[in-house]
Structure 1
Amino acid sequence: MIDDTSRQVAGWVRADFGLDLTTVDEVTHGADQHARLWRASCADGARYAVKLSGGGTPAGLVVAAHLAEQGVPGIAAPLRTPDGGLRSHRSGRRLSVVPWVSDRRALGGPMTEAHWRAYGELLAAVHAVPVTDELVRLLPRGGAAYRRIVAATRATAERLRDPDPADPAGPLVAEMAAVWSVAADQVSTLIREVERLAADPAGAMVVCHGDPHLGNLLLGPDGQVWLIDWDDAVLAPIECDLMFVTGGVLAFATITTEQRAAVLAGYGSADVDPRRLAWFLAVRALDDLSDWTSQALDTGASVADRARAADVVRGLVSPIGLVVLADAALLDLGQAG
């Protein structure tokens, strides 16, 4: 169907990419507050993911195109504009078009053993791609935002610990304060250890997706997988991506021993450093905790969106949540030392 917004998007795509879209339907299951996504199709039946991105880095499109050109399986190459560009600019955001490769999301699965193995093979192929001078120039370093993340976590903790009577979030603050109290000690440990371990030497830098959880993985027949949404691509040690496997959590779902074994069998030999792994886990845990809490306290958001964000926060501090898993990884470091 084509409503007013969809008609506008179709006009942009026609003008910028030369595609005549016959259907444009918004997809609302993503977690990116800074992006909007549409599933679109043309009269010949070809389908595309049309995205307006305001966050992440524009280098993600360059990375996806480069990986596809290098023959990395499971990468959908972005379409180019008539002048060879990978994006245009509309409403202050990046407009991109990528083939719609599958309707089957790994989040909710089910994933077969072949899918898990292919996921590992795909990560290994990404990490093996030579790092070009262009990628060095364009890609941010993985974990480089840790100071901002720590500051945001401290600010959120202070807001919950000493609420302002004039805070428009009012009861929401009290609700989130109760949730955070469950993991107060773990959060303090994560903040301390993230700052302490940041001084450790970094490992070899490779191209990393930066956010390869199940929500960004699509499934095909015969164990085929695609890794999508490269907005958070970075240069980082392999632990930046492998924490989603060896760290035990893949976006709102735990990974079993058997599933982990299948991924690592596909990935092959990997010298995973436990200190770097624990550090990336801790940074991600703090980032997710502070970001989703901010969404839960956003009085401008819908009740449904705030409730969903609050549920995510509860999951993060649950016994199998990322905050607890990251804290356990740091504890293991201390015991090993």
Structure 2
Amino acid sequence: MVSDVARQVAEQVRTGFGLRLSTMEPVTSGADQNARLWLAQAADGGRYAVKLSGGGTPAGLVVTAYLAEQAVPGIVAPLRADDGGLSIDNDGRRLSVVPWVSDQRALDGPMTGAHWRAYGEVLAAVHAVPVTDELSRLLPAGGAAYPSIVTATRAMAARLRDPANLVDPLVAELAGVWSAVADRLGVLVGEVERRAGDTRDRPGADVVCHGDPHLGNLLLGADGQVWLIDWDDAVLAPPECDLMFVLGGVLAFAPITAEQQQAVLAGYGTADVDPLRLAWFLAVRALDDLSDWTRQALDLDAAAADRGRAARIVRGLVSPVGLVTLAEAALRELDGQH
């Protein structure tokens, strides 16, 4: 059954983009709680991702339109509305339409060696595009949100120490998980704060970065083709902001193998990586993921399956192969270099 929201959105797509949709199927695999996404089929048989975005900025649409104009591979350009814009307004939210290029997420596999190499080629091409004045105005600096991430981490730790919040069994379990790694998290938070200034002062130009190029945001096609999607977190940052997903050792809740890493780098080419920036971005991401997925697991109004999935991700983040552990190792290696 098509919801009233979907009907209203379909009508807006018709009047705003000149595209008649015959079906709209909700897509629930994304992690963005501020967005609604549909797989829509047009009357002419074409398929499209129709998205309502309630958070962030339109920068992701501007970036993908620009990258497509620059002939960057693996980029799906958004459709232009009849007024020339990249989105139309829906009660304060952005309504955008993008061609649906593949049903196969890299997160679900299987990725061939050609796919891994193409993933590196896409990242290299993105990082090589000139930064326009418009992008400089629109895109935030990568890592600039670290103070709020540190604050959220500390607030979550305090919440889980309060016995009044531990009535729910899953909350109590996650309180135990956080308690077991409390000392480690304290060190990680301290390292993020201590090294932030040094990270900013390192030489090297900022480039366009996806900001979140994990396998959940990568689609697979035939003959090794890939598409990098969901540019809502695009930033201007050192390349390490993206490369830490590959060189940091984890791409999506699972370790990346040495062979896969080599294939990505074969596609990317020469990468002059700064170990300090790489470790710092890893640590910031680890804290952000841990606090945000814990917040989702603690949402008593959410579906039990969604809370359970979030809790599993939290356990994975602090596991011996998880992002928290990898960030700690990267920071320790920095100390070993001095």
TM-score by length of 2: 0.96
The Cα shift of 1:3 comes to 4.0
Residue in 1 that maps onto 2:196: 198
Q: Is residue 2:247 matched to residue 1:246? A: yes
Q: Deviations over 1:271-326 (max 9, x none)?
A: 00000000000000000000011111111212111111111101111111101111
User: Following the alignment from structure 2 to structure 1, what is the Cα–Cα distance between the partners of residues 327 and 319?
Assistant: 12
Residue in 1 that maps onto 2:285: 284
Residue in 1 that maps onto 2:11: 11
Residue in 2 that maps onto 1:78: 78
Q: Is residue 2:152 matched to residue 1:160? A: no
SS of the residue corresponding to residue 197 of structure 2 reads coil
1:222-241 equivalences under 5 Å are: 222-241=223-242
1:105-144 equivalences under 5 Å are: 105-144=105-144
The Cα shift of 1:180 comes to 1.5
Q: Deviations over 1:240-279 (max 9, x none)?
A: 0000000011112221000000000100001000000000
Indicate how the Cα distance of structure 1 residues 145 and 169 shifts in structure 2: closer, same or farther if over 3 A, else same. farther
Deviates more, 1:232-241 or 1:302-311: 302-311
User: Following the alignment from structure 2 to structure 1, what is the Cα–Cα distance between the partners of residues 90 and 310?
Assistant: 28
SS of the residue corresponding to residue 95 of structure 1 reads strand
Stretches of structure 2 that go unaligned for 5 or more consecutive residues are none
What amino acid sits opposite 1:185 in the alignment?
D
Indicate how the Cα distance of structure 1 residues 299 and 114 shifts in structure 2: closer, same or farther if over 3 A, else same. same
Deviates more, 1:292-301 or 1:224-233: 292-301
Q: How many aligned positions are there?
A: 335
User: Following the alignment from structure 1 to structure 2, what is the Cα–Cα distance between the partners of residues 168 and 97?
Assistant: 43
SS of the residue corresponding to residue 198 of structure 1 reads helix
User: Following the alignment from structure 1 to structure 2, what is the Cα–Cα distance between the partners of residues 143 and 3?
Assistant: 38
Q: Is contact 1:59-1:139 (8 Å) kept?
A: yes
What amino acid sits opposite 1:310 in the alignment?
A
Deviates more, 1:180-189 or 1:104-113: 180-189
SS of the residue corresponding to residue 72 of structure 2 reads coil
Q: Is contact 1:186-1:324 (8 Å) kept?
A: no
Q: Is contact 2:214-2:245 (8 Å) kept?
A: yes
**CA RMSD between the two structures:** 1.3
Residue in 2 that maps onto 1:42: 42
The Cα shift of 1:173 comes to 3.0
Q: Is residue 2:327 matched to residue 1:326? A: yes
The Cα shift of 1:133 comes to 0.5
User: Following the alignment from structure 1 to structure 2, what is the Cα–Cα distance between the partners of residues 121 and 69?
Assistant: 17
What amino acid sits opposite 2:174 in the alignment?
M
User: Following the alignment from structure 2 to structure 1, what is the Cα–Cα distance between the partners of residues 330 and 38?
Assistant: 38
Could you tell me the percent identity over the aligned residues?
A: 73
SS of the residue corresponding to residue 329 of structure 2 reads helix
The Cα shift of 1:6 comes to 2.3
What amino acid sits opposite 2:92 in the alignment?
G
Q: Is residue 2:191 matched to residue 1:181? A: no
Stretches of structure 1 that go unaligned for 5 or more consecutive residues are none
SS of the residue corresponding to residue 97 of structure 2 reads strand
User: Following the alignment from structure 1 to structure 2, what is the Cα–Cα distance between the partners of residues 55 and 332?
Assistant: 37
User: Following the alignment from structure 1 to structure 2, what is the Cα–Cα distance between the partners of residues 169 and 150?
Assistant: 26
Q: Is residue 2:272 matched to residue 1:271? A: yes
The Cα shift of 1:170 comes to 4.2
User: Following the alignment from structure 1 to structure 2, what is the Cα–Cα distance between the partners of residues 245 and 99?
Assistant: 27
Q: Is contact 2:166-2:172 (8 Å) kept?
A: no
Q: Is contact 1:35-1:55 (8 Å) kept?
A: yes
Deviates more, 1:13-22 or 1:171-180: 171-180
What amino acid sits opposite 1:196 in the alignment?
R
Indicate how the Cα distance of structure 1 residues 3 and 69 shifts in structure 2: closer, same or farther if over 3 A, else same. same
SS of the residue corresponding to residue 156 of structure 1 reads helix
Q: Deviations over 1:102-139 (max 9, x none)?
A: 11110021000000000000000000000001100110
What amino acid sits opposite 1:212 in the alignment?
P
User: Following the alignment from structure 1 to structure 2, what is the Cα–Cα distance between the partners of residues 3 and 288?
Assistant: 32
Q: Is contact 2:160-2:166 (8 Å) kept?
A: no
